[in-house]
Each structure stands twice: as C-alpha cells, then as structure tokens.
Amino acid sequence: MSSTATIQPSQRELWGHPIGLYILFFTEMWERFSYYGMRALLTLYLVQKTTADNPGLGWLDSQSIMLYGWYTMLVYVMSIPGGMLADKVFGQKKAVLYGALILVAGHGILAFDQMWAFYTGLGLIILGVGLLKPNISTMVGGLYKDGDIRRDKGFSIFYIGINLGSLLATFIVGYVGETIGWHYGFGLAGIAMLFGLAVYLYGQKYLVHVGNKPTEQEKKEDVSLGQLFSKLSQSPLQLGVVLLICAYAIYAGFTYDGVDNWAYTALYIFIALVAGVMMMIYKNLNTQILKDRFLVLLLSFLIVIVFWGAFEQAGGLMSIYTSKNTDRMLFGFEIPATWFQGLNAGFIIIFATLVAGYWAKRKLKGKEASSLFKMAVGTMIMGLGFVFMIFAAREYSANGSSAMYWLVFAYLFHTIGELCSSPVALSFITKLAPVKYASLMMGVYFAATGLGNKVAGILGENASEYGEYAVFSGITIFTVLFGILVLAMLKPLKRLTHGAEDNEREIKEQEKFDLAQNENHN
C-alpha cells in the first residue's frame, strides 16, 4: 500500500502548500468578487437618474458618497466584533461559515428592487464581511506551523485570490449592472458568494486542524475588553478623556446638520472607547520598550487612516467622475465606468512581485527599507496619483470631458503606493504589538482602515461644494506633506521600535544562503 494512504486530508499538499490554502483561496476569491462587484455598482446606482433606461435612485453625488463612506467604514469596523466572536465563542472556521451564509442572504436580498431590500442587504453584507474577512486570514496563517518558511508565500498566493476576485467582479458584475440592470448585478454578486460557500463547505476535510472553537484555557489566556474597561474606570485621567469625547458625541447628535448626525454620535462614542482601551493598554505595559513600540504602532494606524482616506476615492468620487466626466469611447465602444476600478486589481497582479522584489533587494543592500519608510513612501506615491486627476479635472473644465488615460495613470500610481504601504502594515503590527494584545490590535488596524474609508467619504462629499479640482489638489498636497513629515521623523521613530526589524536582513541573508546551498545540492 502506498504511504500516502495514511496521510489525512488536512495534511495533504498541492504544489508545496496545504490543500486547505487553495480552499481558502477560492472562498476568499468569490467573497471578494461579491464585495467588489457590489462596491463597483453602489455609488453609480445611487446617482443614476430614475428616468434613465437603467434607472437608479437619483440621489445627489454628495448623498451617495456619504452612504458609501458609512458603508465601507462599517464593513471594516465590524471586523473587531467578528474577530472577538471567533476568539471567544465559535472559532474562525464557523465564523467564516456564518459570514458566508449571511453574505449570500445579503446579496440575494439586494437583487429585489425595493428600498427595504436595499438597506437590509447592505446591513447583512456589513455583518457577513465582519465575520468572514478577519477570520479567513487567520485561518491561512493557521495552516502553517510556527517557523514554516512557506507562510509568507502562502499569504502571497492568498492575496492573489483577493485581487483576482476583485478584477473579475469589476468586469463581469460591473458590465451586467451598468448595461442590463443594477439588481441583476447585485444578484450576480450573490451567486458568486454562493460559489464561495460551496467551495468552503466542500473543503472542510482539508481544514480540520485550523480555526476550531477556542478551548477554555485559550479563553482564559486571552485579554478581554471587559478587563480593560474595568481598569479604565479606575484611572481618572483616561476616564475623563473618554467621557469628554462621549460628551462631544452627544453634542454632535443634537447640533450637526444632515441625516447622519446621530451616526456621527455613534462613531465618536466608538472612537472614545477605542481611545480609552489604547490608553489602558499603554498604561499596563510593563517595560519602556513595549510602551515605545506601542506608540509607534499607534502612529502607523494614523498613516493607515490617511492612506485609505485618499485611496478609497476609487469607489466614490473617482467612480462618479469616471461615469459623468470621462470620455470612455474606444473604437466605437463605451467602456463601462465600473471597469476602471478593475485597474487596481490588474496592476496589483502585474506589479506585486516586482515591487516586493525591489524592496527585498534594497534591504539586502543595506539601504533604508523599514516598514515606516515604505508606508510613508507608499502614501506619497499614492497621493501623487491624484496629480493625474487634477489634469483630468482641468481638461474637463476646458473641454467638457477628460481623457481615459488620466484615470489609468492615477490608478497605476495608487496601486504602486498600495503595494509599498498596505502589505507591510499588517506585518508591522505583528512585530510591534504586545503578544497578549496582538488579536485586539489587529482588530484596531481594520478599524483604522474603516475610518480611512469614512474620511474618503467625507472628502468626496465636499467635491459638490468645492469641486473635484480642489479636492484632488488638496489630497495630493496633504498626502505628500504627510509622507515627508513621517520621513523627517523616521530616525527617532525607528529608535522607539528598539530594533524590532533590525534582524530581518540577517534572516534574509541566511535564507538566500540556504536557497543557494539547496540549488547546488540538487
């Protein structure tokens, strides 16, 4: 009998990786297909006139971008309770299953042309992504043992699945939604999520040892938010800061203009609670090294907010600008506005390895390639992409339309900036976060991403008052100056990390040596 007959399904490999990786790859691919497909249609559906051949809701641009900002923020913020439920109650594997089921329901309901269905569908998608997204990534890491050198490559393969789903969605769902019917596009996104659910259910035998329900011992070892809040009540200064922000939140609810005034109240209360937890974590760290690293980590979250606040114009302001102000005719065919959002995913697939290779070679040569340096440079490159949108806005003012190539160049720069900044942000968290707060800090990272999405919505809303030219110019100037400020502070910030990344060059050199030895041996 062959020796492979005794290997359990969960231990089998394909192309050098656990088969479970490919199960999660296709599950996430279809989930991202459904999410980005719906994202590509959302603002365009909202602003489409009710008298059009393919009628939408006829909202103002500012109203649609406002909803887009709240929606994309909540999708990421819900990763915090989604991760906590998995850690404390039913494990990552069931969290992903429940999230997929909720997503199928949410996208399915969006297929109905009723306002109750629209809002209900959005709410279910927010809940579903909050359960699925943080936990499926955790499961990928769980497929590999500690120290397994295949882990980084496994995440790279998984990342390709994310962008492949995004690329396919913007072309397929975008075309169906814009040309056949918006709700057909929403329904197609639901069918895609159903495929993802089917793949996940089929592959359970390959995921036996990952994402299981936490044991009682693991629950005891984990730090709960309840413990942190109980300590917060014993600290007058920290409690005062939290109460001050909460008081302002209530003031905002009564005084802010707009239909979302009480939504801002809830947002400020959430920020107050997060701020209180961060202060208590800092206070409870028992060494100065941990405290210094924690401060740098909080600064990196600020970079995350700034980056995504600019980058996420793609699904809001830039999407509407593409639809209304861009000449999209090519050889007699009008390119759907949603297709331009696929440029980001396409450029990621093309340039991901090139950008990663550039930074790796730079690090091996002993040149500056720290995470903070890459995040700052990435933010600046992404911000410079809006220079092309400035040219587009000027051309539109002069001629009544702007050329497509401005969008192509803008998305190219945005993607290069993303590849410099986004992948290293998660890795940076694992290097600096205190071990017992690692899961919580990962949730805060997703919350920072969500706040960046909300900032993007606020900036997009202002375009109706100040104009696209002013908004694009402001984003360019701010992101470049912000990146320069981070670079100016780089040396003292690196000192505060206390060498968290100093040993990486030696590790890379050893890996390079081992690879050469293996090749010579073979």
Is there a single domain that holds both residue 260 and residue 279? yes
Summarize the confidence of residues 431-448 as an average pLDDT: 79
| Residue 263 confidence (pLDDT) | 85
Q: What is the pLDDT of residue 89?
A: 82
Q: Residue 149: pLDDT band by 50, 70, 90 thresholds?
A: low
Kindly write down the DSSP assignment for every residue of 2-26, as one continuous string.
-GGGGS-GGG-EETTEEHHHHHHHH
Mean pLDDT within 44-50:
90
Query: What is the average pLDDT value for the chain, to the nearest integer?
Result: 85
At 186 the pLDDT is 92
Whether 138 is covered by a domain: the verdict is yes
User: Considering 198, 219, 240, which residue would you say is the last residue of a domain?
Assistant: 219
pLDDT at 519: 42
pLDDT at 198: 95
Q: What percent of the chain has pLDDT over 90?
A: 42
Q: The CATH number of the domain where 32 resides is what?
A: 1.20.1250.20
What share of residues in the chain are helix, strand, coil (percent, to 5)?
80, 0, 15
Residues, the chain: 522
Between the alpha carbon of residue 510 and those of residues 149, 350, 366, 507, the distances in Å are 12, 28, 15, 5
| Whether 280 and 352 share a structural domain | no
Closest CA to 380 of 372, 390, 368: 372
How does pLDDT run across 66-80, given as a tens digit for each residue? Answer: 898 999 899 988 888
The mean pLDDT of 280-301, rounded to a whole number, is 88
Q: Is position 484 within any domain?
A: yes
Residue position matching structure tokens 């081992």: 514
Rounded to whole angstroms, the Cα distance separating 79 from 425 reads 16
Specify if 105 maps to a domain. yes
- 293 shares a domain with 432: yes
Q: What is the pLDDT of residue 502?
A: 67
Give the global pTM.
Answer: 0.83
Q: Is 213 helix (H, G, I), strand (E, B) or coil?
A: coil
Q: Are 80 and 179 within one domain? A: yes
Report the share of the chain in percent with pLDDT over 70. Answer: 89
Q: Which pLDDT does position 202 carry in this prediction?
A: 94
Say whether both 61 and 191 belong to one domain. Answer: yes
Last residue of a domain, one of 269, 284, 299: 284
Report yes or no on 79 lying in a domain.
yes
Task: Give pLDDT, residue 157.
Answer: 83
Same domain, 169 and 194: yes
Q: Same structural domain for residues 29 and 42? A: yes
Is 514 a domain residue? no
pLDDT at 201: 95
Kindly state the tokens that stand for 315. Answer: 């699904």
159 and 273 fall within a common domain:
no
- Which one has a higher pLDDT value, 220 or 155? 155
Instruction: Say yes or no: 215 and 319 in one domain.
Output: no
Tokens 């210094």, residue?
A: 292
pLDDT of residue 225: 59
Residue with tokens 């190219």: 412
pLDDT at 228: 62
Asked if 276 and 307 sit in the same domain, the reply is no
In a domain, 8, yes or no: no
Dihedral angle, C-alpha 255, 258, 262, 264, nearest 10 ° = -90
User: What's the pLDDT at 146?
Assistant: 66
- Residue 204 domain flag: yes
Least confident stretch, 132-136, 202-206, 400-404: 132-136
475 in the same domain as 372? yes
Summarised one tens digit per residue, pLDDT across range 349-365 is 898 888 888 887 888 88
Q: Which of 429, 439, 431, 448 is nearest to 228 (CA)?
A: 439
The pLDDT confidence band at residue 488, using thresholds 50, 70 and 90, is very high
User: Which range of residues forms the domain containing residue 355?
Assistant: 288-509
Is residue 237 scored above 80 in pLDDT? no
Average pLDDT over residues 294-305: 92
Do 68 and 194 sit in the same domain of this protein? yes
Residue bearing the bigger pLDDT, 226 or 265 = 265
Q: What is the pLDDT of residue 185?
A: 92
Distances (CA, A) of 88 to 45, 252, 270: 39, 34, 21
Report how many domains make up the chain.
3
Nearest to 11 by CA among 145, 116, 129, 186: 145
In a domain, 230, yes or no: yes
Whether 326 shows a pLDDT value over 50: the answer reads yes
Is residue 152 over pLDDT 70? no
Question: pLDDT, tens digit, for every residue of 371-386?
Answer: 899 999 999 999 999 9
Domain boundary among 245, 267, 284: 284
